[in-house]
Amino acid sequence: MNTSMKQTGHAFIAMAAVWFAYLVIAFTLAADYQEALVEAAEDLGVSDNKLPAEAIAQVFEQHTAGSLVGLPILFAAPAIMLMTAFAVRKHWPSAFATWSVRTAVVSAAIWWAYLLIDSGSYLGPDNLPPLTRDIDVLTVPLVAAASAFALVSVIAAAEGLRKAGVVRRAARIASALAAFLLVAGLAGTFTSGFEDPLPPIALFPSSLILGIALLRSARKEQPPAARLFIPVGQRED
């Protein structure tokens, strides 16, 4: 099996799986926590993305386990994205692959910064750090920016694969789909008055397409078993 395709394919699958896993956790183990956020937003007459830090801190205190259960996945997601972008650049170096790494680094930096700012709410309503107090203003632009740069990274990675002649059809589809979701998501963010950010789950379909295509291509390129040729003079009668 082609090792480079196999490794990169698994990286893309992991990139998709991490967001699928977060959704599963959000609707199961963290369901009460998510519901509490929605209820707090309804009580204040704002969207759940515009909740003030004090309200978030109170929900954290009441649903600590539910708020923490998905946090490792959220911190791991950018690392998996970086691993994927570096894998594409390592095995199929190009200008596109380089830009995939650069935009993945920017996305990861923004996403980790947002998580650290948001985590300040665990200190309690009376001990909020300065930036955490502005989380209602920062959430939508930071999440939208991180998601946008991540989608650009996927587009660049897909174009790098296509340029290298690897899974061309799947790369073209993944690139077009990611570009569509990027434009549609950012349009939705602006038309909503920055109420709803471009969500990072938008990475899921293109990452899954590329991952499956690379793994299938790797299996197809597996060399057949070597034939045994016995010299005529050594054959037994």
**Is 236 part of any domain?**
no
Q: Could you tell me if residue 82 is inside a domain?
A: yes
Across the chain, how many H-helices and E-strands are there?
A: 10, 0
pLDDT at residue 184 is higher than 70 = yes
| 235 C-beta neighbours (distance < 10 Å), count | 7
Give the range among 142-146, 156-160, 202-206, 221-225 with minimum mean pLDDT: 221-225
Average pLDDT in the 108-119 region?
Answer: 97
Residue 227 lies in a domain: no
One-letter identity of residue 24: V
Structural domain count of the chain: 1
pLDDT tens digits for range 65-100:
999 999 999 999 999 999 999 999 999 999 999 999
Give the pLDDT of residue 9: 96
Is position 216 within any domain? Answer: yes
Residue whose token pair is 């174009």 = 159
Q: Is the residue at 237 inside a domain?
A: no
pLDDT at 228: 42
Residue 131 is part of which domain span? 3-221
User: Does residue 55 lie in a domain region?
Assistant: yes
Round to whole Å and give the CA distance between 31 and 134.
25
Look up the pTM and report it.
0.89
Within a domain: residue 235?
no
